[in-house]
Amino acid sequence: MSETYIIRVEARFEAAHNLREYYGKPEPLHGHSWKVEAKFRCDKLNHEDFGVDYVVVEKAIRDLAKRFDHVYINEVPPFDKMNPTSENIAKWFYQELDKPEVRQEYVLEEVVVWEGPEAYVAYRV
């Protein structure tokens, strides 16, 4: 039987945004308490009996989240040009975390972006 481990890390930030197009017009400016989760999969442990190095992935997700903490997301690239939907934010985090230097030799399974405690978007490839 093969083993699978899922390693999950998260980061939080407070930020404002507004959708540029929301049923044909800009949405009012508003803020959220955001949470981003990343889930990595490994099918075997290394010689020290761990999967993904928490130090690497925690630093990466927290550094990315810091870009948005206490700012207006619409002014932060690439969301200065792209509609800052939760879907686009989740995809952006996924693309940034799916780099070999972050995920190491493991698989980034999913990124989840919470727009507060009751609503989230999950992005997978």
Annotated binding-site ranges for Zn(2+): 17, 30, 32
The structure tokens listed for 89 are: 């934010």
Q: Are 114 and 65 in contact (CB under 8 A)?
A: no
Binding site residues, as ranges?
A: 17, 30, 32
Q: 56-83 as b/e, with b when 16 or more CB fall inside 10 Å? A: ebeebbbebbeebeeebbbeeeebeeeb
